[in-house]
Structure 1
Amino acid sequence: MHLSLLYRGRLSSCNYDCGYCPFAKTYDSREALRRDAADLARFVDWAGAQRMQLSVLFTPWGEGLVRRHYRQALVALSRMAHVRRAAIQTNLCVGLRWLDEADLGKLALWCTYHPTQVGRAAFLARCRELDRRGVRHSVGMVGLLEDLDEIEAMRRELPATTPMWVNAFDPRPPDYYDVAQIARIEAIDPHFRYNLAPAPSLGAPCLTGESVVSVDGDGEVRRCHFVDQPLGNLYDGSFAAQLRQRACPNARCDCYIGYAHRPDLPFQRDYAGGVLERVPSFV
C-alpha cells in the first residue's frame, strides 16, 4: 500500500506580506509554534513507525522552512526507507545548507516566486543552487496581470528543465484575463486552464480518501483539505478502515492539491511520480 499525506498543522505565520494573501505578515505566538513543533514531531514519529510506503507534502498556511522543525522533519522523512517523497510548499526564502543532511533523491520543493517580496536575481540564485544540488523542484507564480512580463521573464531565465506553473489570481473579477493573456500564460503552463476554469467536480472520481488523505496537527484525517468530514484519527488508526474509493462531493475544486488527484484529469499521467511537488513526469 502507498499512502500520500497532505499535512497542514497549526502554523499560519509568514514572513512575506503579499497583498492578496490573508496570511501576509501574520505571527504565531511562542506557544502556537511550540505546539506546532510538538505536533509535527509526533507526525514524523508516526511516519517512522509505519511499514507501508508513504509520501508527504507539507502545505502550511504560512512559510514552513523558516521554522527549524519543518526543516528537520523533511530531513528525517527523506531518510526513511519507506518514504518515497518528502515535499513542502515554500517561498524559498531560507538558506539551503540544511539540505546537506537530507536524502535528495526523495526530497522535493514546490517553490513560489513572489516578485513584490524578493528580487528575481536572488530567487533565481536559490533555484540555481537547487539545480546544483540536484533537488527536485518546481517554480510557480500567481497570475496577476501586472506580473505577466515578470512571469515570462522568470520562465526565460529558469533552466528549461525546471517546470513552471501559474495559478490563476483569485478572487478576481469576471473576464479578468482576456484571450491573449490566457495564451501567454498557457505558453508557460499548459495546464493553466484547469486552475482558471475548474471542471465540475461533483460526482467525479478522486483518489483522496483512498490513497491520499489530509492530516491536521491533532492527527484528524480528512479526505482532502476541501472536504471537512473527518475519516478518523491518524494516531489511533481509526482512519484506515475508512479508506475507499469516493466521488467528489464538491461542486468544483479550484486548487491543484485537490484536483491533481482526480484520475479523470491529466495530472496523474502528466505528473506521474511528481504530483505532490508539481513536477511533470518529463523532468
Structure 2
Amino acid sequence: MANEGSLFSVRRIYYRGKLNSCNYACSYCPFGKKSHPASTMQDKQAWNRFITAIEQWEGESLQLFIIPYGEALIHRYYREGIMRLAALPQVAGISCQTNLSFPADEWLDELQATPSLRGKIKVWASFHPEMTSVERFVRQLHILHNVGIQVCAGAVGNPSAKKLLADLRNALLPDIYLFINAMQGLKSPLSDEDIRFFTQLDNLFEYDLRNAPAQWEKCSGGRSACFIDWKGDIFACPRSKVKIGNFYQSQKLDTSLSCQRKVCDCYIAFSNLTNHPLHSIMGKGTFWRIPDKPLITAVFFDVDGTLTDAQGKVPENYANVLHYMAQSVPLYLATSLSVEQARRKLGKTLFSLFKGGAFADGGLLLYDGRNRCLSVELLPDVNGESAKITAHSYEGQVYKYSMLVYEKEQRENILSRLKAKPYQVFYKPPLITVVHKEAGKKKGVLHICKVLAFPLEQVLIVGNSQKDWEMMSAVSHSCAVMNSEPFLKDHARYTLNPDRLPTFFRFRK
C-alpha cells in the first residue's frame, strides 16, 4: 500500500483535457458552438499523454472519470482512448460525461471486438432539452444500457422544463437513475412546488439543492481522489484552485494544502466527502453517480402512507413500478390492515402482485400457500348501539377486531377491561383495534424470512412511520418514503419513494 501523500495512493481520478467546445448551443452554457481546431489538436496530444501515463501506472487500481468542458465523445480519439484505458488491468472502470449526441451504434461496433470492456465503461449522460428530444436521448441511452454499459441520466432543474423532465423520467427504464442538478443563476429561487416536483423525479435532489460545507478533514480529494487537468496539474477536485502536484513531474502530493473552499457546490465536490449520506445510499457507485445496487431477494411494504397517498390511493407511478418489480422479486406486505382491508386499499390487481405478508400487525401471516393465525376472542359484552365491531377472520379464525366506539365513557370502559386480556390494543379515537399479544410486524417478517430462507442482508423493508422502525431495523436495507415521519427518515438507511426503488436495488427471485 502506498503512503498517504504519494500519487500512487490515489484510486479515483477526474480528468479534464484542453477541449472547450461543444456541438450543442444551449443558452446557459459557455461552450456551445465553439470550434477550436488548434485546441482540439492540443487536447488529443494531452489525452494521449494521460493515457500513456496510466498505462505505466504502478499504484492502486484506478477508477477514471472524464469530465470535459464541452462534448468529448463526438471525437473518435476520445472513444478509442476510453477503450484503450478500459482494457488495462489497472483500470477498474472508466466513465465520461456526455450529451449523447455521438453515434452510440457506431461506438458499439467499435467495442464489438472486445465486448468484455462494456462492463468497465460507464456513461454520465446529460439531457439538454433545447437541443434534443426526449425520444432521441432515451433511445441513445437505452442502446448503451441494454448491452451492459452502466449509465445514469441527468438534467438541469429548470422550472420551465418540468413537463419535458417528467416525460424523460417516464420514458427511461425504471432501473436507470435520473438526477436533477439545481439550476444556477435563477432570477428567483425555486418555489416549494418546484422543489417537490424535482424531488419526486430525483429523491436525492435535496443534496444538490443545498450542497455541503467544505470539510477538508473529511474529504478524500487530494488523498485517494484527485482532479488532473490537461497540463497534468493536480487538484483535490475540479472546484479547487489549489495545485497540489503534477502528474508528470512528481510522485508526491502536497496533502498539507487544503482546497480553501467554504462550500462544496457541485456533485463531484461533495461526493468526495467521506461522511456524506450519498455513500450509504449509492455505495461504491457514488463516484460514477450510478447507484451500486445491492442484491434484494424479497421486499416488504407497509401500506397506509407508504404505498398510498394522502387520499388513500396508490399513485399510478407506484402501481407501474410494483408491476415492474414483481417480475423480478417476491413482494410482501407488512401492515396493520387485515387482508380484506389491504385488498380494498390496493385493489384486486395490485394486491395479486404480493405473495402474502404480515397482516394485522402480524396477527395473520400468509406465505407460500401457508398461514399462521394468532386468534383473539373479544369480550362478550362490548356490543352496544355506540360500538360498531368488525371481526377479521381467516379460515374461521378471528385474528383482529376493529371497534368504532363513539361514546367516550364506553370507550374508556372497554379499554380498561381489554388491558386485563392477552391482547395488544391500538387506540386512535374513535377506533380501537385488538390483536393477539404475540403479534408483531417484526416477528411476522422474521418468521416469513426464516421459513422461506430469505437472507436478512438481502431483504428490503419500506415504511413511513416510527412504528415501522422495529421491523425495518431487523434487516440490512431499511427505506423510509419521502413523506415519512422525521424519526424514520433519520434512522432508515434510505429515503426513497417506491417508484425509485429499481434505481437503487438489484432484484432477483
Structure 1 length-normalised TM: 0.93
Instruction: Write out aligned runs for 1:47-66 (5 A).
Output: 47-52=54-59, 53-66=61-74
Look up the match of 2:107.
Answer: 98
Whether contact under 8 Å (1:202, 1:249) holds in the other structure is: no
Aligned residues: percent identity? 27
In 2: Cα distance, 1:206 partner to 1:241 partner: 15
What SS does the corresponding residue of 1:64 show, helix, strand or coil? coil
Look up the match of 2:20.
Answer: 12
In 2: Cα distance, 1:190 partner to 1:71 partner: 32
1:135–1:188 CA distance, 2 compared to 1 (3 A): same
1:212–1:203 CA distance, 2 compared to 1 (3 A): closer
Which gives a bigger RCO, structure 1 or 2 (Cα 8 Å, sep 6+)?
1
Look up the match of 1:281.
Answer: 292
Whether contact under 8 Å (1:213, 1:224) holds in the other structure is: yes
Whether contact under 8 Å (1:221, 1:231) holds in the other structure is: yes
What SS does the corresponding residue of 2:11 show, helix, strand or coil? strand
In 1: Cα distance, 2:238 partner to 2:216 partner: 17
1:230–1:203 CA distance, 2 compared to 1 (3 A): closer
* TM superposition shift of 1:280: 1.3
Look up the match of 1:166.
Answer: 180
What SS does the corresponding residue of 1:109 show, helix, strand or coil? strand
What SS does the corresponding residue of 2:93 show, helix, strand or coil? strand
1:236–1:130 CA distance, 2 compared to 1 (3 A): same
What SS does the corresponding residue of 1:130 show, helix, strand or coil? helix
Amino acid at match of 2:47: L
Tell me whether 1:182 sits opposite 2:195 in the alignment.
yes
Deviation track 1:50-83 (CA, whole Å, cap 9, x = no partner) reads 1321111111110000111211111111111110
In 1: Cα distance, 2:203 partner to 2:123 partner: 20
Whether contact under 8 Å (2:122, 2:149) holds in the other structure is: yes
Whether contact under 8 Å (1:205, 1:248) holds in the other structure is: no
Deviation track 1:185-235 (CA, whole Å, cap 9, x = no partner) reads 111212212211223225562110111111011111111111111111101
Whether contact under 8 Å (1:220, 1:232) holds in the other structure is: yes
Instruction: Write out aligned runs for 1:184-199 (5 A).
Output: 184-199=197-212
* TM superposition shift of 1:271: 2.3
For these two proteins, the number of residue pairs brought into alignment is: 279
1:248–1:191 CA distance, 2 compared to 1 (3 A): farther
Amino acid at match of 1:135: I
In 1: Cα distance, 2:35 partner to 2:225 partner: 30
Look up the match of 2:47.
Answer: 40
What SS does the corresponding residue of 1:85 show, helix, strand or coil? strand
In 1: Cα distance, 2:213 partner to 2:232 partner: 30
Deviation track 1:96-150 (CA, whole Å, cap 9, x = no partner) reads 2224426011100000111110111111111221122111010011110111111
* TM superposition shift of 1:47: 0.4
What SS does the corresponding residue of 1:274 show, helix, strand or coil? helix
Whether contact under 8 Å (1:8, 1:58) holds in the other structure is: yes
| Matching residue within 64, 76, 85 for 1:77 | 85
Instruction: Write out aligned runs for 1:216-227 (5 A).
Output: 216-227=229-240
Whether contact under 8 Å (2:283, 2:292) holds in the other structure is: yes
In 2: Cα distance, 1:203 partner to 1:89 partner: 26
In 2: Cα distance, 1:111 partner to 1:241 partner: 31
Gaps of 5+ in 2: 1-8, 294-503, 505-509
In 1: Cα distance, 2:78 partner to 2:65 partner: 11
Whether contact under 8 Å (2:10, 2:223) holds in the other structure is: no
Whether contact under 8 Å (2:22, 2:71) holds in the other structure is: yes
1:55–1:203 CA distance, 2 compared to 1 (3 A): closer
In 2: Cα distance, 1:2 partner to 1:213 partner: 7
1:20–1:93 CA distance, 2 compared to 1 (3 A): same
In 1: Cα distance, 2:75 partner to 2:291 partner: 28
Tell me whether 1:116 sits opposite 2:130 in the alignment.
yes
The root-mean-square deviation of aligned C-alpha atoms, in Å, is: 1.7
Look up the match of 1:88.
Answer: 96
1:158–1:253 CA distance, 2 compared to 1 (3 A): same
Larger Rg: 2
Tell me whether 1:228 sits opposite 2:234 in the alignment.
no
Look up the match of 1:255.
Answer: 266
* TM superposition shift of 1:248: 5.4
What SS does the corresponding residue of 1:228 show, helix, strand or coil? coil
Whether contact under 8 Å (2:215, 2:273) holds in the other structure is: no
In 1: Cα distance, 2:134 partner to 2:226 partner: 35
In 1: Cα distance, 2:50 partner to 2:276 partner: 31
Whether contact under 8 Å (1:261, 1:268) holds in the other structure is: no
What SS does the corresponding residue of 2:122 show, helix, strand or coil? strand
In 2: Cα distance, 1:59 partner to 1:6 partner: 7
Amino acid at match of 2:218: P
What SS does the corresponding residue of 2:95 show, helix, strand or coil? strand
Look up the match of 1:126.
Answer: 140
